[in-house]
A and B are shown apart, each in its own frame.
Chain A
Amino acid sequence: MDLESLYQEIILDHYKHPRGRGLREPFAVEVHHVNPTCGDELTVRVTLDGDVVTDISYDGQGCSISQASASMLHEQLVGGTVAHGLATTDAFLALMQGRGQVEPDEDVLGDAVAFAGVAKYPARVKCALLGWMAWKDAVSQAVASETPEVAP
Chain B
Amino acid sequence: MRADGVLAMLDRWGRLLLPGTILLFFVLMTLAPLRVPYIADSLPLLPALAVFQFSLATPERLPGPLLLAMGVLLDLLLGGPGAPVGVSALGFVLIRAAVVANRRYLVGVPFIFQWLGFCLLCFGYVFLVWFFTTIWTWTDIDAGPALAQYVVVVVAYPLIAPLLARVRPRDPLNVPEASRGTATPGETTL
User: Is the pairing of A and B real?
Assistant: no
Q: B-contacting residues of A (Cβ < 8 Å)?
A: none
Interface residues of B (CB under 8 A from A): none
